[in-house]
Amino acid sequence: MNTYKLKTPLTDEDILKLKAGDVVLISGIIYTARDAAHKRLIDTINRGEELPFPIKGSVIYYVGPTPAPPGRPIGSAGPTTSYRMDPYAPTLYKLGLKASIGKGKRSDEVKKAMQEYKGVYLGATGGAGALLSQRIKDAKVIAYEDLGPEAVRELVVEDFPTLVINDVYGGELYVKPKL
């Protein structure tokens, strides 16, 4: 297992060096979206309209943060269960999404899309939302404000800690090796 410090937007070269189990510290801009926002993103794509952020090279964090306490850009920001985004994720990977961050397993369709379009699935530690929020330096709502905590946000992160769960080679951290 290796540790990589990556800056967004991510490239194919960034993704191709990652293997399941590697630690990735992300710096730069990442975006938040959960299931209601994902449905709207796909509806936007289907209407031929432009997404509220550049999808090529981007990272989407599946999170619905709590309100920001005084002096902080965001409240607790722990990952949500990723499978709820699985119906939408393959389309986003096809359009250039390079990584999604969440918790839990992904569907076979999402894993295939990551392999085909050079993307990865990164895990963030569930239950550590307060600690993860300390790596978020700025946060602003950029779309779907009516969704409250599930609105799309642009986050500026510094060394945001993740683990590669699924890589482009079919590797998966959650699968036990056959003996």
Interval 82-109: pLDDT, tens = 999 999 999 999 999 999 999 999 999 9
More confident of the two residues 176 and 14: 14
Q: Which of 85, 95, 87, 92 is nearest to 64 (CA)?
A: 85
Domain ranges for the chain: 3-166
Q: Would the pLDDT of 127 be above 80?
A: no
Q: Would the pLDDT of 172 be above 70?
A: yes
pLDDT of residue 109: 98
118: left (phi over 0), alpha (psi -120 to 50) or beta: left
pLDDT of residue 130: 84
For 109, half-sphere exposure in the C-beta direction (CA atoms, 13 angstrom radius) is 11
More confident of the two residues 177 and 147: 147
pLDDT of residue 178: 65
For residue 166, what are the contacts with CB-CB under 8 A and spacing of at least 6?
20, 106, 110, 111, 114, 120, 121, 172, 173
pLDDT of residue 21: 95
Question: What is the rounded average pLDDT for all residues in the chain?
Answer: 94
pLDDT bracket for residue 129 (50, 70, 90): confident
Average pLDDT over residues 2-25: 97
pTM of the model: 0.94
CATH number belonging to the domain at 3-166, selected among 3.30.10.20, 3.40.1710.10, 3.40.50.1970, 3.20.130.10: 3.20.130.10
* Residue whose entry in the numeric block shows the structure tokens 């209407």: 47
pLDDT of residue 6: 98
Q: Would the pLDDT of 128 be above 90?
A: no
Structure tokens at 74: 């965001």
Percent of the chain with pLDDT over 70: 98
> Catalytic residues, which ones?
38
pLDDT of residue 177: 65
